[in-house]
Amino acid sequence: MRLSLARSRLAFVMVKRFAFLLILISVLVACATSPTGRRQLMLVSEQQAISASKTAYAQTIQPLEDAGKVDNDPALKRRVVGITERLVAQAVKMRPETANWDWSVKVIDEPEVVNAWAMAGGKMAIYTGLIRKLNASDDEIAQVMGHEISHALANHQAEQMSIALATTVGVAAAGAVSDRPGLTTTAASAAAALAIKLPNSRTAESEADRIGIELAAKAGYDPRAAVTLWEKMAKLGGPQPPVFLSTHPSPENRRETLQALIPQMMPYYQSKQPRPVFKLH
């Protein structure tokens, strides 16, 4: 009896060590590099994150469409699309392979919701509450959407999903390498939907700030709006801060960091080069 129990304990320890080894190997081999050159943990491939996001996007948008809350204001929709098409054109210049993404943006009529997001693969949304509560200018909307597009460009959703896998004991570690078969379609779409609701890491936020302000400046939008945007956002804080502030944590030095980037971005903004557009789906 004691011998059997000892063997069981030994087997359990060996299984734990083997699982840990598999996860460690996965971490070592499943790395990627962001547009800023940062090394990223990638247990979930970008293509898998994009596939999962298609399901998550439909699950997020369909109830809002059924409630008549999507693209209600044609003038506002044209305004948002016009800004976003210029930003996406610059995103595609930065990562040409993203020209094949299904880029699109929805304007969600939720007057009290201050939020915006972009999923892997280019599906985006902005809420009317963000535009109207902030009285956002085109330049400020460009900073918001540029920031969100940057999360997609830098593969932050797949990175979030990968970190969740790496830190969850009992996930199919053996399937974490290669095509990650251990991540089921249902689990992947749930993780993708959750990714737009969970806070981004400060590293991801700083990276999206840096890429986003550059995209906006190259698209012809004033980089100084990045600072005024966050000044307005800070005034909306309080006991119940906007959703945007919960999913986009704001370090105390965020405005100072963006302010320091402005001199580098002004030449892009002041350039006389044409500002191309990329037609959204």
CA 158, distance to chain mean position in Å, is 9
Question: In 3D, which of 229, 226, 219, 208 has the Cα closest to residue 263?
Answer: 226
Going 15 to 17 to 23 to 25, the CA torsion angle's sign is: negative
Instruction: Find the catalytic residue in 46, 65, 140, 148.
Output: 148
Give the closest residue to 271 by CA, choosing from 225, 227, 221, 229: 221
Which residues 6+ apart lie within 8 Å of 279 measured at CB? 85
Tokens 């996007």 map to which residue? 57
Burial class (CB in 10 A: 0-12, 13-18, 19+), 83: buried
Q: Is 97 one of the catalytic residues?
A: no
Number of other residues whose CB lies within 10 A of the CB of residue 29: 12
Tokens of 69: 């809350």
If you count DSSP H runs as helices and E runs as strands, how many of each does the chain have, helices first? Answer: 11, 5
* Alpha carbon distance 60, 54 (integer Å): 10
Active-site residues: which are they?
148
